[in-house]
Amino acid sequence: EVQLVQSGAEVRKPGESLKISCKASGYTFSNYWIAWVRQMPGKGLEWMGIIYPGDSDTRYSPSFQGQVTISADKSISTAYLQWSSLQASDTAIFYCARPLVAGSFDAFDMWGQGTMVTVSS
Amino acid sequence: EIVLTQSPGTLSLSPGERATLSCRASQSVRNSYLAWYQQKPGQAPRLLIYGASSRATGIPDRFSGSGSGTDFTLTISRLESEDFAVYYCQQYGSSPWTFGQGTKVEIK
């Protein structure tokens, strides 16, 4: 069974760092792009960026470039999203998602369960 | 960046009625790379339609997508109770991939 399982909810203070994860199973991790999507409380979906674990090719939305870092470790089939200095405005649910077709930019047919990140002093 | 504008913001309908959701793009979506997702409270989005008109695996045939260029439509032919949710369109033809702001389909 294809699955994306994300790490658990996190509570941090402003200025702290954080790295959340998305572990894939049931398919060849290296062959599919993995995206990260933000959903702020009560709001819509925002595409943050995407990584190809096979060669770590990474693309960012201009809105998130320089604000977060996306990485992947293909040896353990896990993608990451990290912040070096969190702000209260980073409070949101973050989803990882996988496209339909290997090696292609495509619609996301597989989603993680989401990781809630709360940043509060 | 392609901006997707969904309308209406909220659609109030009764079970059994037809729902028509619109997604308009600020520029042409390459190859009709337009998807529709359904999201229920506390859940991750679920892919319904890709390539503007292809149903994803396991999606009932009461869901259909159409359109090309800048105008796309999601139609739910007869609403069932489990269809009341928020629906998002997304284009994946040009980076950055973008989502519409969502249409909430609520029970009238």
Q: What is the torsion angle, in degrees rounded to the nearest 10, for the CA atoms of residue B50, residue B52, residue B55 and residue B61?
A: 150
A14-33: pLDDT as tens digits: 999 999 999 999 999 999 99
B12-62: pLDDT as tens digits: 999 999 999 999 999 999 999 999 999 999 999 999 999 999 999 999 999
* Closest Cβ opposite residue B101 in set A35, A37, A44: A44
Q: What local confidence, expressed as pLDDT, does residue B23 receive?
A: 98
* Average pLDDT over every residue of A81-92: 98
Q: Which residues of B touch A (CB under 8 A)?
A: 1, 33, 35, 37, 39, 44-47, 50-51, 56-57, 88, 90, 92, 95-102
Instruction: For tokens 């941090």, name the residue.
Output: A12
Q: What local confidence, expressed as pLDDT, does residue B24 receive?
A: 98
Inter-chain contact B35–A107, Cβ cutoff 8 Å? yes
A43-84: pLDDT as tens digits: 999 999 999 999 999 999 999 999 999 999 999 999 999 999
- B96 preceded by a cis bond (ω within 30 of 0): yes
Q: Mind telling me how many Å the CA of A109 is from chain B's nearest CA?
A: 5
DSSP state for residue B31 in the 8-state scheme: G
Instruction: For tokens 């229920």, name the residue.
Output: B40
Supply the mean pLDDT for chain B.
Answer: 97
Q: What local confidence, expressed as pLDDT, does residue B17 receive?
A: 97
3-state secondary structure at position B15: coil
Q: What DSSP string runs through chain A?
A: --EEEE---EEE-TT--EEEEEEEESS-GGGS-EEEEEE-TT--EEEEEEEETTTTEEEE-TTTBTTBEEEEEGGGTEEEEEESS--GGG-EEEEEEEESSTTS---EEEE---EEEEE--
Inter-chain contact B100–A44, Cβ cutoff 8 Å? yes
The CA–CA distances, whole Å, from B44 to A56, A60, A96, B40, B47 equal: 25, 21, 10, 8, 10
